[in-house]
Structure 1
Amino acid sequence: MLQKKIVINIQTNCEKCRTEAMKAAAKALGVNSVEVQGEDKKRMVVIGEGVDAAALTKLVRKKIKNASLEMVQQL
């Protein structure tokens, strides 16, 4: 199965909220790695196999309210 790189914009300034969003994403089925990138730490990059990008974004949105799917790329 092909790996995907999923980029989700997260709109929060709270470190605790970012951590909660990362924990939620890491628990999703098929996720291999999660990291926050960018100077303002508003881009969460998830790499995994068979991950449903829309479902993952919805899961993160439940934790921090403001999250939007930016990009899905096959690796």
Structure 2
Amino acid sequence: MTMKQKIVIEVPLHCERCKKKIMTICTMADGVTSVTFQREEKEKVVIIGEGIDAAGVAACLRKKVNKYARLVSVANDT
């Protein structure tokens, strides 16, 4: 049984097109159940699911959307 994960990736959101692209990439990753955006001091995408390759998602975002996508945290969500 895999644990539910909460992954936070910091990624600048320049426009609505970027936001849609980020959403598409994140939702296509295996095990993802929800994707939300947080706009506090920095723009962050919060991904929740089971068995997600956090480093792989961050690398894909860096490659396809923005050179600056930083993996902030990966935590087991209860």
Structure-2-length-normalised TM-score: 0.86
Residue equivalent to 1:31? 32
Give the CA RMSD over aligned residues. Answer: 1.5
Identical aligned residues as a percent: 40
**Runs of 4+ displaced beyond 4 Å:** none
> Any idea what the Cα deviations from partners look like across 1:27-64, whole Å, max 9, x if unmatched?
00111100111246710000010001100111111221
Q: How many positions carry a matched residue from both structures? A: 75
Instruction: Quote the residue 2:50 is aligned against.
Output: 49
Where do 5+ consecutive residues of structure 1 fail to align? none
Following the alignment from structure 1 to structure 2, what is the Cα–Cα distance between the partners of residues 14 and 40?
A: 17
Which is higher, the Rg of structure 1 or of structure 2?
2
User: Is 2:11–2:44's contact at 8 Å kept on the other side of the alignment?
Assistant: yes
Alignment partner of 1:69 is 2:71:
yes
In structure 2, what is the Cα distance between the partners aligned to 1:12 and 1:45? 13
In structure 2, runs of 5+ residues without a counterpart are: none
